[in-house]
Structures are given as C-alpha cells and as structure tokens.
Amino acid sequence: MGLFSAILDKLGFGKGDAAPAAGTVAAAPAAPAAPAAPAAPAAPVAISAVDVVAKLEGLAAASAQKLNWKVSIVDLLKLLGLDSSLDARKGLATELGCPADKMADSAQMNMWLHKTVLQKLAANGGNIPKELL
C-alpha cells in the first residue's frame, strides 16, 4: 500500500468497502449471497463524502504539537501519524507524479505535494475548502 492509500485510510476513505470484502472471503461458503447484497449499496453512500476538515481539525486540537496541516505536508502527515521524513515525502511525490524539476528542490516538492494531496482528497470525495486547492 502506498503512502497516499495510507492517508485515505487514516481519513476514513473507503472504510465501508474494506470490512465487507474481508468478511465475504471467509464467509462465502457458509453464508448465502443475499445478506451481502444489501450491504453493498450502503457502502458508496457512506464513503461519498468525507469531512476531511473536521477530522484534521479534531486531530490538530487533540495534538500536543502545534501542527498546521493547511499549509504543511509534514504537519499533515504527522497529524495522521504517518512517516513525514524526506524519504517518505519523496516516495509520496513519486507516487503522485511530481515533476522532476520540483523533486530536485525539497521546498518546491513539499508545496506541490501538499496541494496535490489536498486536490486528490477532494477528487476522492473529501470536503477541502477551495482556498486550500
């Protein structure tokens, strides 16, 4: 799993899909398919919108550190309890297709990475304010 997938997971994206899939693999021979069918339509509704801002603001309020996730990719990753090292950020930048010229300058890469992560969260159903995109 890539770092962006870990970000999605920490914020609750796809939570409705993960549990039923694991349960149906083990229970498929013993359980009829009918009970699984009603659960499937509920999952897309549950993950269609994730209140990213509320989750991150809640984590920031509970954190002992003063972390500004709205402007810093390092703070965003720390807030989610993920690796924020330069190597991890380079890996995330590569995963998300950061241009080579920005990869050569960590400050430019960080700015690109922060904006891109927020854009991708919005594209996946997260509520990101327009001023942050």
Give domain status of residue 36, yes or no.
Answer: yes
CA distance 8 to 122: 11
Is residue 105 situated within a structural domain?
yes
Integer CA distances (angstroms), 58 to 16, 18, 43, 54, 96, in order:
21, 24, 24, 6, 26
pLDDT of residue 16: 53
Which pTM was predicted? Answer: 0.72
Residue segments in the chain with a per-residue pLDDT below the cut of 50? 17-47
Count: domains in the chain: 1
Please tell me the predicted confidence (pLDDT) of residue 114: 96
Structural domain includes residue 133: no
d(CA 116, CA 96): 8
pLDDT at 132: 83
Structure confidence at residue 72 (pLDDT): 96
Q: Which SS3 state, helix, strand or coil, does residue 46 take?
A: helix
Q: Domain range for residue 119?
A: 3-128
Confirm whether 10 is domain-assigned.
yes
pLDDT digit string, tens, across residues 106-116: 999 999 999 99
Q: How many CA atoms lie within 13 A of 127 on its CB side?
A: 11
The answer to whether residue 9 is domain-embedded is yes
Q: Is residue 98 part of a domain?
A: yes
Closest CA to 43 of 18, 67, 62: 18
Query: Looking at residue 133, what is its pLDDT?
Result: 81
